[in-house]
Structure 1
């Protein structure tokens, strides 16, 4: 395990949120789709279910997506801004089926604020651990989805949004076969 379990869960949620807009597709077009996303991610707390809430989550998504290509200093600045905006006050909590983990906002805080704070808290660990290189963009030429590499040998190159790894490997195999290299 590279990071604490709650940090890894939060980072995966960030990846999944960013990738709701990968490759020119938008999969958060309604409050209902946002609700389904939050359920799939097991995200707790209040939800308004409004267009304004959806818009604020999309703004947060753009902010978080910029971190995947940011340097450490820029990432730290964004993380600090997210925490400041939420007036974050980290506390250890235990609820539902989750064991002890950090929350830095109340369950009643606005959704985008809670999501941003959770992401920021997870990214604090990434930055402090000097692991920004684990935040990547998919290596497939035709994909702009983000990747979180939690592998021991830092070898994850492709996203989980489709079959980018398989497509790339098949194309390379076919190119080798066509050139007579195999």
Structure 2
């Protein structure tokens, strides 16, 4: 498992779903792998769940593309309205106390909507509306969460930042 169950699981799951949908690698097998990676229990994906989660991933992307704090808050609130149920604390499976945004008995797609919407809301609150974005490299546009110390990331990874720096250097030399 990539992450222990913590408040960031839903944020990282949201990033992965957005990127799976936009990079052309969406499929039932890749979706199931992603859900297992982020500890979404009982992650057997039916055709209906696949379609609903993919549509949800498309709704998640605008949160990362938001141009301002206010816009991001509006977009997260729309997700909360459609995705989060009642919030409660739990300590299942020997894990430390953490929040759940939907009862375990709900279907897979409802649990995915709840954990991503709820976690994005908590993260947005803690990050003061910042630290979510899409890569500034125009040929990339991968969504990311900025957990760096300074919180000023503009690129999804160093390779994209270097590509842009080389491009700017070559343009300036001309």
TM range (shorter): 0.7 to 0.9
Alignment check: 8 A CA contact 1:76 1:127 kept: no
The yes-or-no answer on 1:140 pairing with 2:155 is no
Change (3 A) 1:90 1:54: same
Count of aligned pairs between the two proteins: 165
The alignment's C-alpha RMSD in Å is: 2.4
User: What does 1:74-89 align with in structure 2 at a 5 Å threshold?
Assistant: 74-83=75-84, 88-89=85-86
User: 1:76-155 to 2 correspondence within 5 Å?
Assistant: 76-83=77-84, 88-96=85-93, 98-129=95-126, 131-155=128-152
Cα displacement (A) at 1:158: 1.0
Q: Which residue of 2 aligns with 1:51?
A: 47
Runs of 4+ with >6 A deviation: none
| Cα deviation digits, residues 13-34 of structure 1 (max 9, x gap) | 1111111123xx32122x2221
With normalisation by structure 1, the TM-score equals 0.77
CA distance in 1, matches of 2:32, 2:75: 31
Shift of 1:175: 4.2
Of residues 18, 24, 27 in structure 2, which corresponds to 1:26? Answer: 24
- Give the superposition deviation at 1:152: 2.9
Of the two, which has the highest radius of gyration? Answer: 1
Deviations 1:69-125 (A, max 9, x none): 340234323322222xxxx12221223463221112222311121111111211222
Q: 1:157 deviation in Å?
A: 1.2
Asked if structure 1 preserves the Cα contact closer than 8 Å seen for 2:76 and 2:117, the reply is no
